[in-house]
A and B are shown apart, each in its own frame.
Chain A
Amino acid sequence: SAVISQKPSRDICQRGTSLTIQCQVDSQVTMMFWYRQQPGQSLTLIATANQGSEATYESGFVIDKFPISRPNLTFSTLTVSNMSPEDSSIYLCSVGEREKLFFGSGTQLSVL
């Protein structure tokens, strides 16, 4: 399975600021995915990061709030913009292999 490195592992941010999360995969993958896990909730897909085209966002998530970059087949970033305390969550990068998803270690974000 792919090895997925994600950073930062955690951060505490002030309201109104932005945080960019990086995800590096050790092999080339067509699609990378960004998930969010709010406290006590299930994992929710934010968007699919496609190389060479704009990300595809799920219902309830918009590009202005969660801009995504995918400059090549091994790297992606997710930015959480204009943060509020409601954005406090774990953000996870993942890649799909066959029918399974593999995840990075996640970014624990706390917004004050």
Chain B
Amino acid sequence: DQQVKQNSPSLSVQEGRISILNCDYTNSMFDYFLWYKKYPAEGPTFLISISSIKDKNEDGRFTVFLNKSAKHLSLHIVPSQPGDSAVYFCAARPNTGTASKLTFGTGTRLQVTL
């Protein structure tokens, strides 16, 4: 049972445009959400997170939106840059969980083209 779903395995965006990566979850106990970025031959690196008490968190070019009623979150990257080309993982954990209890999605491969 995939509790965190990233239904788009890949996404291609032109440099300078907005990239929108989507993530859906089914477990209503999840209350903390994270995005990780992974380059080939490297481990995932933490990008941005959001608590369920918020609906938006912004960090530079990266913004995460949370819609709890729809159990949906999205990562916006604007403007997109070629260096953003990577696999992006959405992750979530329940309010009683520790960092180790993160549940990950299958990832979306973002390609930013010139």
Residues of A within 8 A of B (CB): 1, 4, 6, 9-10, 31, 33, 40-45, 48, 92, 94, 96-106, 108
CA distance A53 to B100 in the complex (A): 17
CA distance A96 to B102 in the complex (A): 10
Pick 9 A–B contacts, CB within 8 A, sort by A: A45-B100, A45-B102, A92-B43, A99-B99, A101-B100, A102-B45, A103-B44, A105-B41, A108-B41
Instruction: Given contact pairs A33-B100, A42-B103, A99-B93, enumerate 17 new A-B contacts (beta carbons under 8 Å).
Output: A1-B46, A4-B43, A40-B106, A42-B89, A43-B44, A44-B104, A45-B102, A48-B100, A97-B99, A99-B32, A99-B49, A100-B99, A101-B102, A103-B36, A103-B44, A105-B42, A106-B42
- Asked whether B34 is an interface residue with its Cβ less than 8 Å from the other chain, the reply is yes
Residues of B within 8 A of A (CB): 2, 4, 32, 34, 36, 41-46, 49, 89, 91, 93, 98-107
Q: Given A42-B104, A42-B107, A104-B43, A96–B4 Cβ distance below 8 Å?
A: no
